[in-house]
Structures are given as structure tokens and as C-alpha cells.
Structure 1
Amino acid sequence: MVESETSPPSSSPHHNKHQSLVLKSAICSRVLLLALTTLFRTLLSPYDTSASINPPCLSAPNATLSSHPSPLQNAVVWDSVYFLRIAQCGYEYEQSFAFLPLLPLSARSLFSFLSPFLPPTSLFVLSAYVINNLAFVLAALYFHRLSLALLNHPQTALRAAVLFCFNPASVFYSSIYTESLYALACFAGMYHFVSGGNNLAVLFFALSACARSNGVLNAGYLCFQTMHRAYHALFRRNRVSLALQIVIVGALRSACIFAPFIAFQAYGYYNMCVGRSPEEIRPWCKARIPLLYNYIQSHYWGVGFLRYFQLKQLPNFLLASPILSLALCSVVYYAKSRPENFFSLGFLTPMEEKSCGLVFLSDDISRSKEARNVEKSSVRVEEHSNLRRRKNVIKGDVANVAIESEPALWSGYLSASVLPFVLHLGFMACTTFFVMHVQVATRFLSASPPLYWFASYIMAYHAKGFRWGFIIWAYSIAYIFLGSLLFSNFYPFT
């Protein structure tokens, strides 16, 4: 189906049907995850039962937060204990500053609107669950809109969104973790970024930095855009003043994304260092640049370059190997397919592709008539490619089933517009493998769009798409069941 030139793609019945499918998939996946975690929590005994112990806040030592653990409190495991404690009592201990404030503040804000008949602790738990599951549904819708706007392939965008709804880290998106809020902020920021709404993009990216520390890396999208726009203004239009203006605006926008994380570090310094006696001052307070977050990660969790490369950690590397392999394949395939575009950071993109590739040169290109014409062309290319593949399969000529037709105008996963997202994924995957606890890779990379775009792409256009589709879905389903079983009962899982 090809939309008319006068009607935007978002208003077509085709788009509305896909959006409805994404909404249903997101809701069904959350119901499934909550049902599985409840079932496994009921059938099995937790490995660690200390999570239900909730002593009074240091600021109110005489108050009792919970006298008897409730079913809701029993669902609080692993990092959820920290987030719940922060929501109730604030930042009391040094190590609690490793958990950023967006989720605790959101849960505390919703707390006052819920029924007064539940114990306070259960209300905080319920608030966090409502926020995270609602945020996941909104994140899925935003991701579908982002995929549709960037890839210009309705079917690919739909498959990618459904894959996200049932991603391997799904158990964390329905728990008291930051994954849902972070994904919502990231996808919303990315969508507004590619749609030309840079100010809204900055706002959402700043919120992502309030949820997770790696949210500051989203400033890279603005830096990428600034680099291309400044280059265009300086070398293509010979306007030095315009290039300087672009650089200044880009720097200010990037600073706004870093601001929440820096402000939180300053808050930690004020609470942990200011007004303390010399005997109480922690070592990081005396550093030239006192970064509490880095100290906590290194001192309490042993995070550092190659510090996790130990023989006893081999099972954790195996646990993370599927998502890291998918990330590696996503980056390598793009680099091999578009070497000039990849290694030149987009500066050697063919001129005829800039209308759809370098959306970073214009603040409103995705709403232009030219962009809509590109989408119409991409839909025709996809329909023609699918028809050729079906004919070849019917004839039994599997060897001639093309991986993807190569039109003069690159589109879909291999378009130039996808480049900054691929670079972002590559940097995060390397950081996870060499610096972090590698087992967190499954959830750490789960909000990276290229993973789902690439998976959707090879499932549809690769000669062995059916086999790849089976492997990808089997991996996702296995990790959903494994995560629901282990994580809900306080056993190690990513």
C-alpha cells in the first residue's frame, strides 16, 4: 500500500493497524511477564529472603515501614531493594548513589494518588510497578514510530517493535528497575531527534540521564548532528558564522543532557563530603574531580577495564554471548555493507542519498514532501523485493533469494540515517564487554534500536531468514522464561 502524497504516513489505516498490533503486543507481553513471575515466585522458594527486611529510615528511626511482608513486597528483589528504599527514605548510604533518581522520584510522586488502605511499603511497590509497565507500553509505541520514521519500511518497523515487546530482558521491564523509563526516554528522544524536534529530543535525553548513567551517551546523537551540520555550513555553503552558531547550539544542547547527571553527582558530594570531619571524609571526596558514581562502581562492584576477565566469570560471559553476538553482527554487517559511509562517519554518503540519509542536516526534514516521496519509493522497493523473493522460493531457487535488493537509494537498516545508532550500539557493546559486569549486557543493550532493526531485517531479507527468525525468537522466549524463573526468586540472572 502506498500512501498518497497529500496524506502523511501516520494517518494511514495501514499505520493505524500496525500501531494497534504493537499496543496489543506490548500489553500482552507485560501480562505474560507478570503472570510468569507470580507463578514462579509461588511455586519456588527464593534463594535469598532478606529482601523483605525493611528497617526504619535513618531520618525517622522510630517509624515502622512494614511489620509483615506482603505479596507485593515479596516481589522486591536485587536492585529493586535499593530503588524501593530510596523512594521511601531518600539517599541514606554512599552505595545508594549508584541508582539514579528518576524511578524513585516517579514512584514517590504516584504514591500520594494511590489508595490509603495498603501499607506504605506496598504502595511504593505498586507505584513502581504501575509506572514501569505503563512506561514500557509507551516505549514500544514510540519505538514503532521511530522505526517507521527512520527505516521507511512498515513491515520491518512492525517486526522490530514486536521483537522489542518480547525482548530477552523483558523481566526487567516489568520489575522495579530503570529499563522501562530509560527506554521510554531514549525512544522518545530518538523519535523527536529524527523528526526535527531537537528541543524535545534534548528534554527526553536529559530524562534518560536521570534514569541511567549511560543516558549521557545520547548526547552523541546531537554531537553527530552538529558535526554534519557544521561541516555542511562551513565547507558546502562557506558560512563560517553559521558553522560557529551550529557548534555553540549543539554544545549547549549536549550540556543540557549531561546536566542532570552532573547535578546528581554534586548532590552526592554535598551529602557525603560537605560538613564532615576529616576522619569521616571518604577517599573520593579528596579527588581532583570527585565523581561519586565512578568510585561506587569501582569500590563496591569491582567495575573497571578488563577487571571482569577471570576464569570464574566464564558462565557470565556465556550468558551474555547471545546479545553481544547479535550486537557484533549488527555493527559488522552494517560496516561491511556500507564501508564508506561507516568509516567516514557519514561524510562520504552519496549525494543522491542525502535526502533520506542525512536527516541531521535539517531540523524538519522528516516532515518534508521530499521525505514522504522517499518513503513511497522505499515501500515500492520493499514490495518488489518481497515479490521477487516469493517467486524464487516457489521456483525452488533459494540461492537466488537476494539478501536485499540494492536500489540506487539505500533504505531500511542500511540507510545512512541508521549510522549514528549503529555507532552508539558499537560503543555500548564494547563498554559492556571490556569494562562492565558482562552479564548485564542483556538488559544494558536491550534499549538499542539497531538490535531489533537488524534482527527484523535478516528475518525478512536474508536467504536463511526463517532459520534466523527461529533462532532469534527461541533466544528471546528462552530468556523470558529463564529470567522470570531465576530473577523473581533472587537467583543470578544478567
Structure 2
Amino acid sequence: MTASHELRLITLYAICARLFFITLIVSASLLPPFDSSHKTILPAADPRSLFDVFVGSLLRWDEFYFADASRNGYQYEHEWAFFPGPSWARRLVRSVWSTGGRRTISSLSEALFTGALTNCLTVWSARILYLISVECTGSASVARISALLSLLPSSPAVIFHVGYTEPLFNLCSYMGMLNCMNAKWAQASFYFMLANSFRSNGVLLAGFFLWGLIADPFLRKQKIPLLNCLKSILYAAITIAPFVYHQFTAWVTFCQDDGLSVEWCKRFPPLIYSHVQATYWNVGFLRYWTPSQIPNFLICSPPLLLLFWSSTDVISRLFRSHTQSGLAKQASMVLPHMVPHAIHAFVLTSWILVAAHTQIILRLASSMPFLYWSAARLILEQPKLGAWWVGWSVTWGCISSILWAVFLPPA
């Protein structure tokens, strides 16, 4: 089967998956919601109209923050927890829409357009994941399984139905990773920079440059040119530029003149992101480790366990192969291109486990191809466990979509 035929099949399956989840979400939205915030944007919505129900299903949770920030900017301190990428993207949509003398796009049309766009981006991401997987594993069958597994993501399936950060973050991350595998570092830094403008964990993507330009040659006992070191610094700086910009903008806004009265302005470094997460979401080291959060730990345990098991296995094989017979002679599905992904997964998962709302891994894991490679490895090497993973993915995808529709957590 040719690569183009594989991509067409993956595209078809991805479209079918999107249609299934859209149908499920709209059907569940006919149930009475726990919260009626969406009516503030659609006050005249008719609960008997399937179209109004569909539009209403696009308006949940963080969607309100993104929509408000894109129109009015950051008005309250807690809104600085959200990076500017979604606002920039929505403003671009409105700017393009208004060209040619058209009137300003309405909230309803904007919700519909962003929903359609994110569904298209999700389909495209599955195609890019297939290409990454072929490059990394050298196996079309593993790449096919990985791409198909991404259609049943650990993330609540519904966030690929609305204007959330994940669709664009995932696509930009995938594109950057694909360029890294082909040593196209400048292009990779551009995509990683875009990804970081949507989510804070995008700063960790800078590690791919440190691996590819410094760590990998070092482990191969190759000479590391000074230019490689300078490139890694430059490309890492480009990657984290949106994070720095966001923090600097907040510092200028809050910490000038009498800003020293603001607590976080006195800290070094003065990061509003850390302050907002700790103050409004109680994020911090082991703060989430309380008895009341045990259900959330249980909900997110499948991707946590899979990522920890697979990443530690790959990293340990790396060191064993390096000390025994060289990096290029690793066995099974543990290949050189996979190592930076394993390290990235281990670092991110460890941070999420001890210093964040742990169930957020359900959303962040979808941006890591390593999750789907690990699941594909389960299916191929331990079919019974692989079947459990697929069963959990289908079950969680359906349950999370219904919970979203009726405005219940986790989201």
C-alpha cells in the first residue's frame, strides 16, 4: 500500500471519527446542561432547534475566556493563565472575514467557523502524525496504527470540536517534530514558536534542539561544532519567545510605577503565569495530592502509566545500548528518533504528576506522538493490554463528550 493511499485512508477514518463525535456531542447537548453560561452569548437560542443546540455545544468552559480575550483583551488577572495564541488566531479570523466590506463576524458565526476549522486541523494532524511515525519507526504498519489511535485520543474528544488550544498546538508541535527529524531546524523553531503561543508546555519543545544538535552527536562520540551550540540556543530562544513575550507584557502592565505593591512583581523572576496558576487554580508542588482528588488521579491513570512505562523503558534502553554497542543498534521499536520524544514525555508527565492538576495530562498527552507509539507497541507486543487501551480510549472519548455537552467536569 502506497503512502498516498495510506494517507487517504487515514483522512477518511479521521473524518468519520469527527462525524461520530459531533453527532454524540449534539445528541448529548439535548440534555439539560448543568450550567447555562452559553446563553449569555446565544440568549435567543431555541432548545428545539437542532442548529441552535449544535452551536450551543461549541460554547463550554475555556471557550468563554478565549472568546472574551480575543475581543476585549485581558481584563482580569486570572485571564493571564491563557496564552495569547487563541486570541491572535480569532482576531486574524475576524480580520480576514471583514475584508471586502463584509460586516463584523458575529459570535455565532465565529463559534461555527472556529469549530469547523479545529475539526479540519484535527483531521490534518492525523496525517502529519502518520508521516512522523513513518520517519521515526520506519514501519508503515506502526505508523498506521498510531495515526488511527490518535483518532481515539486520551484528551476529551470534544476539545477537537471547538476553538480550544489543542488542535493548533498539536498540529504545530507535530510539524515542528517532523522538521526536527529531517534536520530542518529553522522551520521546526517556527512551528514550535507557534505552538508555544497556545500553551505554556510548548517551552519544553525547545529540548528537541538540544537533543538533535548537542546531545545526540555527543552520545555518538561525534565532534560538536560551535555552530551547533549557537543554533540550539537560537532555536530554543525562538521557541520560548511567546512565553517570554506573555510574561513581559504582564510585567509592563502590572509592575510599572506602583506595581511593586503587586506581590508577584517582587519575585524573581516576576512571572504572572506562576502567580495566577498558584492563586486561582491552586497549582503547586504536591498541592493536588489530596484525598478529594483521588478520582481525578484514577481517571488519568491510563495515559500516566503508559507514558511512564514506555518513556522509562526507552531511556533505559538508550543508556544500555550506548554503553554496550552504540546508539545506532537499539532493538525493537526503540529507535534513535524516538529517544527525544521519550525524554520529552517523561519530563512533561513527571511535572504534571507532581505540580499541576494531574488530569490535565488527558489533554496534553494528545500532543505527544510518543503516546500513540507506546499504545501501538502495546497492541503489537502485548495484545491484551493493547485491547484494554483501545477500550479505555473509546469509553473515555464517549463519556468525556457527554460530560462536556452537559457542562460537567473534567474538561
The normalised TM-score by structure 2 is 0.90
Cα distance in 1 for partners of 2:214, 2:323 equals 14
Code of the aligned partner of 2:2 = H
In the other structure, the counterpart of 2:84 is: 101
In the other structure, the counterpart of 1:41 is: 29
Q: 2:302 aligns with which of 322, 329, 332?
A: 322
Q: 1:485 aligns with which of 382, 398, 402?
A: 402
Q: Is the 8 A contact 1:186 1:205 kept in 2?
A: yes
Q: Is the 8 A contact 1:46 1:490 kept in 2?
A: yes
- The 1:348/1:25 distance shift into structure 2, 3 A limit, reads farther
In the other structure, the counterpart of 1:90 is: 73
1:94-493 counterparts in 2 under 5 A?
94-114=77-97, 120-169=106-155, 170-228=157-215, 231=218, 236-237=222-223, 243-274=225-256, 277=258, 281-335=261-315, 337-341=317-321, 348=323, 350-351=325-326, 354=328, 409-410=329-330, 413-460=333-380, 462=381, 464-465=382-383, 467-493=384-410
CA RMSD of aligned residues (A): 2.4
5+ residue gaps, structure 1:
1-12, 55-65, 342-346, 355-408
Cα distance in 2 for partners of 1:141, 1:236 equals 34
In the other structure, the counterpart of 1:406 is: none
Cα distance in 2 for partners of 1:126, 1:412 equals 45
5+ residue gaps, structure 2:
46-51
Q: Is the 8 A contact 1:303 1:437 kept in 2?
A: yes
In the other structure, the counterpart of 1:32 is: 20
Residue 215 of structure 1: how far off its partner (Å): 0.4
1:68 aligns with 2:44: yes
Q: Is the 8 A contact 1:273 1:285 kept in 2?
A: yes
Residue 335 of structure 1: how far off its partner (Å): 4.3
Residue 372 of structure 2: SS of its match in structure 1? helix
- The 1:194/1:412 distance shift into structure 2, 3 A limit, reads farther
Q: Is the 8 A contact 1:192 1:198 kept in 2?
A: yes
Cα distance in 2 for partners of 1:336, 1:289 equals 35
Residue 286 of structure 1: how far off its partner (Å): 2.6
Report Cα offsets for 1:127-180 as digits up to 9, x if no partner: 321232122122111111000011100000000001002213122222231111
Cα distance in 2 for partners of 1:424, 1:203 equals 19
Cα distance in 1 for partners of 2:219, 2:336 equals 16
Alignment size in residue pairs: 400
Code of the aligned partner of 1:282 = V
More moved, 167-176 vs 185-194: 167-176
Code of the aligned partner of 2:235 = R
Determine which structure has more spread, i.e. the larger CA radius of gyration.
1
- The 1:122/1:423 distance shift into structure 2, 3 A limit, reads same
* Identity rate, percent: 25
Q: Is the 8 A contact 1:41 1:489 kept in 2?
A: yes
The normalised TM-score by structure 1 is 0.76
Report Cα offsets for 1:377-402 as digits up to 9, x if no partner: xxxxxxxxxxxxxxxxxxxxxxxxxx
Residue 78 of structure 1: SS of its match in structure 2? coil
In the other structure, the counterpart of 1:8 is: none
Code of the aligned partner of 2:10 = V
Q: Is the 8 A contact 1:328 1:426 kept in 2?
A: yes
More moved, 14-23 vs 112-121: 112-121
Cα distance in 1 for partners of 2:17, 2:251 equals 41
Residue 302 of structure 1: how far off its partner (Å): 0.3
- The 1:418/1:249 distance shift into structure 2, 3 A limit, reads same
Cα distance in 2 for partners of 1:306, 1:191 equals 35
Cα distance in 1 for partners of 2:178, 2:105 equals 39
Residue 413 of structure 1: how far off its partner (Å): 2.5
Residue 78 of structure 1: how far off its partner (Å): 1.0
- The 1:349/1:417 distance shift into structure 2, 3 A limit, reads farther
- The 1:251/1:223 distance shift into structure 2, 3 A limit, reads same
Code of the aligned partner of 1:176 = G
Q: Is the 8 A contact 2:318 2:339 kept in 1?
A: no
Residue 111 of structure 1: how far off its partner (Å): 2.7
In the other structure, the counterpart of 1:369 is: none
**Larger helix fraction of residues:** 2
Residue 27 of structure 1: how far off its partner (Å): 1.5
Residue 436 of structure 1: how far off its partner (Å): 0.6
- The 1:45/1:143 distance shift into structure 2, 3 A limit, reads same
Q: Is the 8 A contact 1:73 1:125 kept in 2?
A: no
Cα distance in 2 for partners of 1:188, 1:33 equals 25
Q: Is the 8 A contact 2:94 2:104 kept in 1?
A: no
